[in-house]
Each structure stands twice: as structure tokens, then as C-alpha cells.
């Protein structure tokens, strides 16, 4: 065994004896790292010891080298161990700290926006009909009398126009003449717009605002409709019933019955009003018990429909011998009121924030 020079040996021994306690005494991670650097760092104590190696006789260097390496490994291991124990202690402290005050109010997220119930219902209706194969068509809200009435077969001076009491308008700068303008009373003007710009076949829906001169709990002078029409070679009333039945199933829920009652609209024939089974009093066996929403009838009227009248085709230059079609028009407010159980139409147009936030 080679003699170790007296100058190195005591320093090594002293360091070997002292470092565990020095690490244990370090209260924080930073203090521990500082202590570790004091020993192992570039200017640390072990480096200082190693710098004396040249005073060691060559034959002893190997042994001392081994001792230094062993010490270095021991220090590193102790450092890691202490590091872990400090981290653990810190976590223990965190875990055992007093509980959060969960009674404080929740921090509000960014405020949520709400679509208007009319928009929700309209978009849903549009989506159902689009999925059945209809495309969307725009139309103007201020319209020529000929597109809103005449070409749709409303006879002049006929009480049929009483069904749709109109707002007649003056348009600034319009060329003077016979062309009377009004706020469209229905989205059916889009039928004329589409038929005079597209050749059949065509399958369109047209949502939008409409206007009639009514104002009470069930009528608003501005309201919203969605028009749907299909024109092709052999469109039948059975097809109309098929589309309505499918719509009712998808929109109001499986098993919703549909009923057509004959009615009159100048631009369709045969014409019908359509009821769906009341969604509010449906019984487990599929029948309807009757409730206040459906006025005890089990049915709720939602739209008017019919086979497009030949006079409409003729006024748009389409041969009614070659083409047939159906059309229906639905009031969106009505459907929204049924869907959400809204008792008064006026709520829809007051836009009270507490109302809007419910949808």
C-alpha cells in the first residue's frame, strides 16, 4: 500500500467526514446546490484538493485518484438524495398546507354568448331540410307587388290579400311608374325569384324576415318564415307528405305524427294547413293527452303548404304540363314558441338579456 502524502490525506478525510452533515444542514434546494458547488464546483474544495495532485509522487497518484473519485461519487449521490428529500419535504408541506377556501365564488369564464331562439330554430330547420336535399336561396325583404302577389296568383282586388295585410312602401329614388312595392308578406316571393332565374328541376329553401300589418300576442308586424319548394317532373302531394313527415320526425322527434287539413292559399292547389302531434302531452304509448299548449287537441299547427298552382308556373314561364311542385312555408316564431314553451310572442322581440341567456 502506497503512502498518501500528508498534505492531501487530511483534507480528503475532513471533507469525507463533513459533507453529509453539510448537505443535511442545507435548508433549501438553492442552499443545497450552493453547498454542492462549494464542494464539486470549478472552484470547489475537491478541485482544490485535486490541484495538489502534482505534489503527490506518481506511484501514489492512482490510489489517491481512486479515493477522490470515490468521494466525488459519494458527494454526488448524497446531493441527489438530499435533493430528493428536500423536494419531497416541499411537496409534503404543500400537501399539508391549509385547504383552499372553496367557498369563494368561482372565477367567471369569458361570458357566454347566446343565439336568439329564432336563430336556433331557423338554423335547425335549415339543417334538417338541407340534409333532405334542399339548397338555400336568398330573397329581398322589400319586394315588388308582382313578385309578392301577382305572379303568385293573388287575384287583383281579391279578399285573399286580406289574409296578408301588407305594408306598402315608397322607395326613395325609385323610378316613378306602376310598379308598387311592399315589405314581403311571406318568403314565397323567393319561389318567383328562383323560378324566373333557374330552370327546373329545383329544390330550395328560403329563410328570412317577413312583414304583415298585425300586432297582438300572436302576431308581430315583423316575423320570420322559411319557405321550402321542390319542382320536378313528377312531384306529387304524396311527396309533400313524405317530406313533411320526415321533417317532423327529425325536427320534433321520432314518432311525431303529421296531419294535413285542406286550406286555401292562392299560390297552391290543393292547399293544406299542417299540424304536428303536440310534443308537450305525448304519452308513453305515443298518443297525445291534450294540454294547454295544444288547446287540448293534441295537435299544433305549424305551417301552410300545397301543390304549386299552375298559375304560378305560368307566370314564371314554366310549363305546368311538364313540371309539378310542392311548396310549404313555416312561421319560425310559432315553432320556437312551441319548442321552448314561450307563452308570448312579444318576449321574442324584447330581447331581455335574462330571456336571451336561457337559450
Partner 1 sequence: MKASLRWLRELCPQLPDDAAALAARLTAAGLEVEGTEAFGAGTEACVVARVVSARPHPSRDGLRLVVVDRGGREQEVVCGAPNVPDPGGLVVLAPLGAHLPAKGMTIERRTIAGTVSEGMLCSEAELGLGDDGSGLLVLPAGVAAPGAALTHALPGARDTIFEIGLTPNRPDGLGHLGLAREAAALFEVPFPPPSPTRGADATDGGEKHVSVSIEDAERCPHYGFAVLVGARIAPSPLAVRWRLSSLGVRPISNVVDVTNLVMLELGHPMHAFDLARVRGGKIVVRRARAGEAMRTLDGVDRTLHDDDLVICDGEGPVALAGVMGGGDSEISASTTRVLLECAYFDPRGIRRAARRHGLHTESSHRFERGVDWGDTRHALERAASLVSTLAGATLAGRTHLEEARSLSRASVTLRCERVGALLGAEVSRSDVGAILGRLGFERQGARDGADTWLAPSFRPDVSRPVDLVEEVARVRGFDAIPATLPAIRPSRDAAPRASLARRARAAGVSMGLSEAISSAFVSRPDLHAVGAPAPAVSLRNPMSEEQSVMRTSLLPGLLRVLGHARRHGEGGVRVFSVGALFLASAGSLPDERLAFAALLAGERPAWLTKPQPVDVWDAKGLLEGLVQRMLHREDTVRLVSAAAPPPPAFHPRGAASVEVDGKVVGSLGPLHPDVADAFELGDGPVMVVQLDLDALDAVGARPVRFAPLPRFPASARDLAVVVRDGVPGGDVERAVREAAGELAEQVALFDRFVGGGVPAGHASLALHVVYRAPDRTLTDAEVDARHAEVVAAVQKRFGATLRA
Q: Name residues whose C-beta falls within 8 Å of residue 123's C-beta, 6 or more positions apart in sequence.
A: 115
Cell matching residue 257: 305524427
Closest CB 243 distance from partner 1, rounded Å? 7
Binding residue count for partner 1, defined by CB under 8 A: 105
**Contact call for residue 340 and partner 1 (CB under 8 A):** no
Calpha distance 142→181 (Å, rounded): 7
Among 81, 89, 174, 289, binds partner 1 (CB under 8 A): 174
Contact map string, positions 249 to 268, toward partner 1, x by CB under 8 A: ---------xxxxxxx----
C-alpha cell at position 344: 308570448
If DSSP codes are grouped into helix, strand and coil, which group holds residue 286?
A: coil
Cis peptide before 201 (omega within 30 of 0): yes
Task: Residue 278: name its binding partner from partner 1, Zn ion, none (Cβ under 5 to 8 Å by kind).
Answer: Zn ion
The answer to whether residues 356 and 340 touch, using CB atoms and an 8 Å cutoff, is no
If you ran DSSP here, which 8-state letter would residue 134 be given?
-
**Residue 238: CA atoms inside 13 Å, Cβ hemisphere, count?**
1
Of 194 and 337, CB closest to Zn ion? 337
Nearer to partner 1, 230 or 330 (CB): 230
Pick the binder of partner 1 from 108, 216, 283, 284 (CB under 8 A).
108
* Choice from 58, 98, 99, 105 touching partner 1 (CB under 8 A): 105
Residue 67 is a binding residue for partner 1 (CB under 8 A): no
CB 65 within 8 A of CB 49: no
d(CA 325, CA 234): 8
> Least separation, in Å, of the C-beta of 294 and Zn ion?
3
- DSSP bridge partners of 301: 275
d(CA 186, CA 223) in angstroms, rounded, equals 9
Q: What's the CA gap between 39 and 301, in Å, rounded?
A: 90
Binding stretches for Zn ion (CB under 5 A): 278, 280-281, 291, 293-294
Site for partner 1 in 129-148 (CB under 8 A): 132-138, 140-144
Instruction: Please state, in angstroms and rounded to a whole number, the distance separating the CA atoms of residues 62 and 217.
Output: 104
Q: Least distance (Å) from partner 1 to the CB of residue 163?
A: 7
Judged by CB, which is closer to partner 1: 84, or 213?
213
Q: By CB under 8 A, is residue 61 in contact with partner 1? A: no
- Nearer Cβ to partner 1, position 94 or 162? 162
Should residue 222 be labelled a site residue for partner 1 when binding is judged by CB under 8 A? yes
Report, in angstroms and rounded to the nearest whole number, the Rg of the chain calculated over CA atoms: 43
**Distance in angstroms (rounded) separating the CA atoms of residues 100 and 46:** 47
Q: Does residue 170 bind partner 1 (CB under 8 A)?
A: yes
Which among Zn ion, partner 1, none contacts residue 272 (Cβ within 5 to 8 A by kind)?
partner 1
Q: How far is the CB of 169 from partner 1 (least distance, A)?
A: 5
Q: In the complex with Zn ion, which residue's Cβ is closer, 40 or 281?
A: 281
Mark the segment that binds partner 1 (CB under 8 A) among 33-41, 46-54, 61-69, 160-168.
160-168
Amino acid at each position: 500500500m502506497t503512502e498518501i502524502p500528508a498534505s492531501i490525506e487530511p483534507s480528503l478525510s475532513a471533507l469525507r467526514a463533513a459533507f453529509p452533515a453539510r448537505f443535511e444542514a442545507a435548508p433549501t434546494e438553492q442552499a443545497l446546490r450552493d453547498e454542492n458547488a462549494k464542494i464539486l464546483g470549478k472552484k470547489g474544495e475537491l478541485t482544490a484538493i485535486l490541484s495538489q495532485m502534482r505534489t503527490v509522487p506518481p506511484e501514489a497518484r492512482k490510489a489517491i485518484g481512486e479515493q477522490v473519485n470515490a468521494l466525488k461519487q459519494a458527494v454526488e449521490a448524497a446531493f441527489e438524495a438530499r435533493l430528493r428529500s428536500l423536494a419531497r419535504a416541499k411537496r409534503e408541506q404543500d400537501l399539508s398546507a391549509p385547504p383552499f377556501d372553496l367557498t369563494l365564488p368561482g372565477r367567471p369564464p369569458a361570458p357566454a354568448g347566446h343565439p336568439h331562439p329564432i336563430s336556433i330554430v331557423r338554423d335547425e330547420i335549415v339543417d334538417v331540410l338541407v340534409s333532405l336535399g334542399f339548397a338555400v336561396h336568398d330573397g329581398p325583404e322589400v319586394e315588388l307587388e308582382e313578385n309578392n302577389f301577382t305572379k303568385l296568383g293573388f287575384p287583383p282586388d281579391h279578399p285573399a290579400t286580406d289574409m296578408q295585410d301588407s305594408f306598402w312602401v315608397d322607395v326613395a329614388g325609385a323610378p316613378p311608374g306602376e310598379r308598387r312595392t311592399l315589405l314581403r308578406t311571406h318568403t314565397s316571393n323567393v319561389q318567383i325569384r328562383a323560378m324566373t332565374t333557374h330552370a327546373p328541376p329545383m329544390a330550395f329553401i328560403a329563410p328570412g324576415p317577413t312583414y304583415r300589418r298585425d300586432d297582438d300576442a300572436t302576431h308581430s308586424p315583423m316575423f320570420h318564415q322559411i319557405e321550402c319548394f321542390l319542382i320536378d317532373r313528377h312531384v306529387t302531394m304524396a311527396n309533400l307528405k313524405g317530406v313533411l313527415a320526415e321533417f317532423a320526425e327529425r325536427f320534433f322527434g321520432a314518432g311525431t305524427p303529421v296531419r294535413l287539413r285542406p286550406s286555401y292559399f292562392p299560390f297552391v292547389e290543393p292547399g293544406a294547413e299542417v299540424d304536428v302531434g303536440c310534443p308537450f302531452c305525448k304519452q308513453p304509448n305515443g298518443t297525445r293527452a291534450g294540454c294547454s299548449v295544444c288547446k287540448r287537441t293534441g295537435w299544433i299547427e305549424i305551417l301552410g303548404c300545397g301543390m304549386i298552382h299552375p298559375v304560378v308556373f305560368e307566370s314564371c314561364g314554366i310549363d305546368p304540363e311538364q313540371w309539378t311542385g310542392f311548396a310549404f312555408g313555416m312561421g319560425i316564431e310559432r315553432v320556437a314558441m312551441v319548442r321552448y314553451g314561450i307563452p308570448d310572442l312579444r318576449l321574442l322581440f324584447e330581447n331581455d338579456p335574462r330571456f336571451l341567456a336561457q337559450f
